[in-house]
Amino acid sequence: MNNLPVSPNLIVVGGIAGLAAVAAVGVVLFNNAIRSAMCLVLNFVLLAVLYFSLNAEMLGITQIAVYTGAIMVLFLFVIMLLNLGAPQLLVEKKDPKRFAAIGFGVVLFGLVGSQLLPAFNGVSTPQALDDFGGPHAIGRTLFSAYAYPFEAVSILLLVGLVGSILLAKRRI
Amino acid sequence: MGDWLINHPFWHALLRVVLLVLPVLLFVVPIIWFERRLLGWFQDRLGPNRTGNIQFSRTSRFVPFFLKGKKFHLQGLAQPMADGIKLFLKEDITPSAVDRAIYFIAPAIALFPPFALGATIPWGPFPLITPVADVNIGVLYILAISSLGVYGIVLAGYAGNNKFSLLGGLRSSAQLISYELAMGVSLGCIVMATGSLKPSDMLAYQGGAFWGFKESAIGDILANWNILTPFGAVAALIFFICMIAETNRAPFDLPEAENELVAGYHTEYSSMKFAVFFMGEYASMFVYSAILVTVFFGGWHLLPFRFDYLAAHYPAAGDIWHVLDMLNGNSFLAPIWFILKCAMVITGYIWIRATLPRLRYDQLMSLGWKSLLPLAVSNLIVIAFWIFATDTFGPLVGWATSFLAVLILIGLYRSLNKNAESTQLASRTIELVDPSPRRTVELVEPAQVPSA
């Protein structure tokens, strides 16, 4: 960490990362469900920008297409249909469980951080190799080495689709 | 310290971004004028043709001599500017019950996708200044950013705190999600044919030999634009329909269906905020036509001829081919041809708007899911057959195989649909609720007033 020179690029990346962290905090702190969801969208987009800046374009664009473009739209859909916008419904009373939650959160952060952070120590070029994780490489790996898991996952998705249709429609 | 200030790639990137965003911003005004004039023509009326006619005074001292008494007819070109000024100066009403933060953010979010969408589209043979980023994931980027377009509309519909807006927002999200699928698959067809996700590689592929017939007269002269290949034409048709749906234009403008939802998602917006939605719609029209032109119509080239190939391989008349190549777009003329082609696509938009009535909601969904998506997927299968056969046996066998695949698919479709009885919509009749005589209005003769 210490041998990383402070360059404008690093400042930009740091700024984006900081904004993403602020957006993540906003997801938890907003009472209004729509605003929380929008903070999550902002967080996803900023994460994708971070990936772009680290030369991992494929990962970033997947992040935007899948999470921001599809999943969060469905979330917004549900929030609107259930009309969860009224903030007064979501204000909780003071609750001792809150402190327990904070404690558990800190412990979880310590656990994950103790495993993840040492790996970043001494990294001086925060950039993937050229075409690392590009569409060609991913496609080739997915359809050769991981062809069987890929097909298994696609069957799983198909089963999920059929199941949801069966549950939603009584008579087909 | 001073070195990176000047030579930093940031400045190059900024130049590229400005050269992308400024035209998109500037072309909104002429597109609006173009649409209104064309609509007027289609509907057998004049359209706005007065605004902007200037007549200088004959006698005033303030008019220079060469302008005295001169008339200028702008054919109504100033009408969009007058509209813009009107929208700027109108009272900006914010309803009291809106969700303020989201109400203000929504127009800005609606404006983001049209301006970000074109970042991977090259508009000329100038690799230094276009596209903004020639990344490996160009087409995926287009799909991802276009999927963000739903946010502006959904949030505007929600923030308005209005039933009609909310319905418009919900309709729009369903519509955009449905048509994104077919759009993605139709682009995927071209990705498979090209073997790359880069729009610049797609352009290079479209400069190749016609239908893959290398070393033959037709392959040397004609370029292989995707619109000229059968599956490319099908994919282009699907993409065109889907992009009309993605930009919420007629006949897919259900989010703002005026006769059902007042004005849809922007019912509660007035003044500049409405203008921002309006601008975003026209900007996205322009950008989507640019994508269609790049992916299917050979980008900035004027005609599908391979003058560059001829110049390299037939040096006897090399100079003529070279000049023709320059005229065909391999020079500063490229942006002009590109914009003219976009104008053709926008004309298609307007023509369809003037011709077709708005779809019903169930028609919209069944068109997207039952017609376009199966068509796009079967197109993908045909292309896969074509690629395989061409790579192994050459172009002639390739085309024969894909023709056979089309026949098999049509046969499969027919045999699958043979048993399904043809359902016809029940014709609607109007029944009076209560045609009893007491509901009829009785005419009461006014009492005779004796004339004075």
B6 versus A21: the higher-pLDDT residue is A21
Residue range of the domain that includes B118: 90-357
Tens-place pLDDT, residues A13-29 = 888 989 999 999 988 88
CA distances from A80 to A37, B3, B120, B163, B443 (A): 11, 52, 34, 11, 52
Residues written for chain A: 172
Chain B residues touching chain A at CB-CB below 8 Å: 4, 8, 10, 99, 101-102, 105, 135-137, 140-141, 143-145, 147-148, 150-151, 154-155, 158, 166, 169-170, 173, 177, 180, 197
Which of B68-77, B331-340, B367-376 comes out lowest in average pLDDT? B68-77
Interface of A with B in 148-167 (CB under 8 A): none
At residue B30, the pLDDT reads 87
Residue of A53, A59, A61 to mutate when probing chain B, most B C-beta within 10 A? A61
Structure tokens of B144? 């991802």
Bridge partners for B209 per DSSP: B223
Question: How many CB contacts within 8 angstroms connect chain A with chain B?
Answer: 73
At residue B255, the pLDDT reads 72
Which of A107-116, B334-343, B359-368 comes out lowest in average pLDDT? B359-368
Query: Using a CB-CB distance cutoff of 8 angstroms, which residues of chain A are in contact with residue B170?
Result: 77, 80-81
Amino acid at A27: V
Tens-place pLDDT, residues B143-194 = 888 888 888 888 888 887 788 888 888 888 888 888 888 999 999 989 988 8
Is the pLDDT at B34 greater than 80? The verdict is yes
CA distances from B407 to A9, B373, B379, B384, B394 (A): 56, 19, 12, 15, 20
Residue of B8, B141, B142, B166 to mutate when probing chain A, most A C-beta within 10 A? B141
CA distance A170 to B9: 59
Classify the phi-psi angles of B232: left when phi > 0, otherwise alpha if psi is within -120 to 50, otherwise beta. Answer: alpha
At residue A152, the pLDDT reads 93
Residue B240's pLDDT band, with cuts at 50, 70 and 90, is very high
At residue B347, the pLDDT reads 92
**Nearest residue of chain B to residue A76 (CA atoms):** B154
What does pLDDT average to over chain A? 81
Residue B362 lies in a domain: no
Among A64, A80, A134, beta carbon nearest to B136: A134
Query: Using a CB-CB distance cutoff of 8 angstroms, which residues of chain B are in contact with residue A65?
Result: 140, 143-144, 147
B239 versus A172: the higher-pLDDT residue is B239
Which of A70-84, B224-238, B383-397 comes out lowest in average pLDDT? A70-84
Residue of A44, A73, A84 to mutate when probing chain B, most B C-beta within 10 A? A73
Alpha helices in B314-371 (DSSP H): 318-327, 334-355, 361-366
Q: Which of the residue ranges B41-55, B62-76, B225-239 has the most confident prediction, judged by mean pLDDT?
A: B225-239
B265, B152 contact by CB (below 8 A): no
Provide mean pLDDT across the span B64-85.
Answer: 80
At residue A143, the pLDDT reads 87
Can you tell me whether residue A56 is helix, strand or coil? coil
Number of domains present in the structure of chain B: 1
Residue B84 lies in a domain: no
Residue B226 lies in a domain: yes
CA distance A69 to B150: 8
Residue bearing tokens 């601008």: B279
CA distance B86 to B369: 41
Is the pLDDT at A128 greater than 70? The verdict is no
Provide mean pLDDT across the span B315-340.
Answer: 82
B352 versus B166: the higher-pLDDT residue is B352
At residue B424, the pLDDT reads 57
B350, B39 contact by CB (below 8 A): yes
Tens-place pLDDT, residues B55-69 = 777 877 777 877 777
What does pLDDT average to over chain B? 82
Q: How does DSSP assign B204-222, residue by residue? A: HHHTSBGGG-TTSHHHHHB
ipTM of the complex: 0.78
Q: Helix, strand, coil: what percent of chain B each, to 5?
A: 65, 0, 30
Distance of CA B14 to the CA centre of its chain: 26
CA distances from A153 to A71, A76, A148, A158, B220 (A): 18, 26, 9, 9, 46
Residue B117 lies in a domain: yes
Residue of B105, B117, B137 to mutate when probing chain A, most A C-beta within 10 A? B137
Is the pLDDT at A1 greater than 50? The verdict is no
CA distance A134 to A115: 27
Tens-place pLDDT, residues B405-414 = 888 888 887 7
Provide mean pLDDT across the span B329-344.
Answer: 87
At residue B126, the pLDDT reads 81
Is the pLDDT at B113 greater than 60? The verdict is yes
Residue B6's pLDDT band, with cuts at 50, 70 and 90, is low
Is the pLDDT at A89 greater than 60? The verdict is no
**What single-letter DSSP state applies at residue B245?**
H
Q: Helix, strand, coil: what percent of chain A each, to 5?
A: 75, 0, 25
B219, B185 contact by CB (below 8 A): no
Distance of CA B384 to the CA centre of its chain: 27
CA distance B143 to B419: 37
Provide mean pLDDT across the span B245-261.
Answer: 79
CA distance A114 to A101: 20
Q: How does DSSP assign B105-152, residue by residue? A: HHHHHHHHHHHHHGGG---SS-TTTSSS---TTHHHHHHHHHHTHHHH
Among A76, A85, A131, beta carbon nearest to B154: A76
**Nearest residue of chain B to residue A32 (CA atoms):** B99
Is the pLDDT at B439 greater than 70? The verdict is no
Return the exposure string of B223-262: e unless at least 16 CB atoms fall within 10 Å of the residue's CB, then b. bbbbbbbbbbebbbbbbbbbbbbbbbbbbbbbbbbeeebb
CA distance B334 to B127: 13
Structure tokens of B235? 């994919």
User: A73–B137: do the CB atoms touch at under 8 Å?
Assistant: no
Q: Can you give the residue ranges of every domain in chain A? A: 8-91+98-129, 134-172
CA distance B74 to B369: 45
Provide mean pLDDT across the span B112-140.
Answer: 84
Is the pLDDT at B385 greater than 80? The verdict is yes
Q: Which candidate, A48, A49, A29, A54, places its Cα nearest to that of A39?
A: A29
Structure tokens of B300? 């900035």
Is the pLDDT at B360 greater than 70? The verdict is yes
Query: Using a CB-CB distance cutoff of 8 angstroms, which residues of chain B are in contact with residue A82?
Result: none
Q: Which candidate, B413, B380, B359, B371, places its Cα nearest to that of B179?
A: B371
Residue B3 lies in a domain: no
Is the pLDDT at B444 greater than 60? The verdict is yes
Instruction: Note the CATH number of domain A8-91+98-129.
Output: 1.20.120.1200
Residue B136 lies in a domain: yes
Is the pLDDT at A123 greater than 50? The verdict is yes
Q: What is the CA radius of gyration of chain B?
A: 27
At residue A155, the pLDDT reads 94
Alpha helices in A30-125 (DSSP H): 33-53, 57-62, 72-82, 97-120
Residue B437's pLDDT band, with cuts at 50, 70 and 90, is low
Among B137, B148, B158, beta carbon nearest to A57: B137
CA distance B112 to B90: 24
Helices B163-194 and B149-159, packing angle to 10 deg: 180
